[in-house]
Amino acid sequence: MAVLRIVKYPEKVLKTNSKRVESWSQDLSQLVMDMFETMYAVSGVGLAANQVGIPLRLAVIDVRPNGKSKKIVLINPKILGLDGKAEDSEGCLSLPGLYKKLERAAKARVLAYDQKGIPWEIRGRGLLARALQHEIDHLNGKVFVDRLPFMQKIRVQKEIKRYQPIWQQQVRPRLTTASS
């Protein structure tokens, strides 16, 4: 397994719609494992494939605390329904250190495929609902700051400019680790 380089905002791959996964292969399974390892290495709760530079409609999520893992794999996900409203602080591995209050749906219902190509439906509320929406936004070429109100978005762009030199220093080559 490998820890992959996380793409930082405003790299182009984060702003483009990801392509549908058309074939399920060993390479796809390996990518899923690498994405989980990468996400855990930086204490994330979700990671989209385009965040590691691969523009595929694939995301992984695990919102449970360490030791109580529940790995969720979303391939070609589609939101079936959203309900309610909830405002909470949100961040992103592609915008490290930047957190903003953001309103999202309190509940989400999503249809996706698993690693074997089998369709399945997931319903989430709270942090899981937020993570589902956040990761699907990534696959649609959006980052969470794109959803902020106009004036707040302008202020955030100034913060982003301050963070960008730090983010560029954090870019590192693909690291591999031995599997246990």
Give the pair of three-digit tokens for residue 129.
């609902």
CA angle 97, 130, 10 (to 5 degrees): 40
Distance CA 162, CA 83 (A): 36
Give the pair of three-digit tokens for residue 161.
């400019």
69 three-state secondary structure: coil
Catalytic residue among 22, 37, 135, 159: 135
Alpha-carbon 178 to chain mean position: 24
Contact call for residues 93 and 42 (beta carbons, < 8 A): yes
C-alpha closest to that of 135 among 60, 81, 72: 60
Q: Spell 10-32 as b/e; 16+ CB within 10 A means b.
A: eeebbeeebeebeeeeeebeebb
**Does the annotation count 135 as an active-site position?**
yes
Distance CA 98, CA 14 (A): 16
Alpha-carbon 55 to chain mean position: 12
Active site residues: 135
